[in-house]
Amino acid sequence: MNSTKTTSDKKSSRPGSVLFVCGMNAIRSPMAEFIVKDIYGQEIFAQSAGVNSGNADGFMISVMEERGIDMSGHVPSSLEDLDDLYYDLIITLTPQAQERTLEFTQGQATDIEYWPTPDPSTTTGKREDVVQAYRDIRDGLEKRIRERFKLGL
């Protein structure tokens, strides 16, 4: 039996710790991590990882700087790089991350939510189109984070 819970009553409380997981920890999950840190400070311990570790992404760094969030020092990491996976909530952003996280946390009483989030690095076209795709992901993650963790605001 899978002990992972995604119940609606859990969605009404703010977790003390959250892990965001995507494919390579280069764009989506670090954006989410740093947005949580920016909004909630030490109220919520936030971290991110990827199924695999990728390379730093310049577009991600640039669009986060637009919001005053310095991510130039972000070093992508994988799930294997984490000391443990004991978080109040793990939010996965890709199907691969969802599958791998369920494997990693099997037998743990960890809440897992799946937030399907497109990969802006697959956007083609002019530079401005690509940058806008990154902004859309950043803004969408921020909106979802604010809605999910709004308790007490």
* pLDDT, tens only, 75-89: 999 999 998 778 999
Domains, the chain: 10-148 (3.40.50.2300)
Model-wide pTM > 0.95: no
- DSSP for 96-137, please give it: HHHHHHHHHTTTS--EEEE-----GGG--SSHHHHHHHHHHH
* Per-residue pLDDT reduced to its tens digit, 1-26: 333 444 334 455 789 999 999 999 99
Cβ(15)–Cβ(30) below 8 Å:
no
CA-angle at 118, arms to 29 and 114, nearest 5°: 60
- Count CB atoms within 10 A of the CB of residue 89: 24
What is the DSSP-derived secondary structure letter of residue 4? -
Burial-class residue 48 by CB neighbours within 10 Å (0-12, 13-18, 19+).
Answer: buried
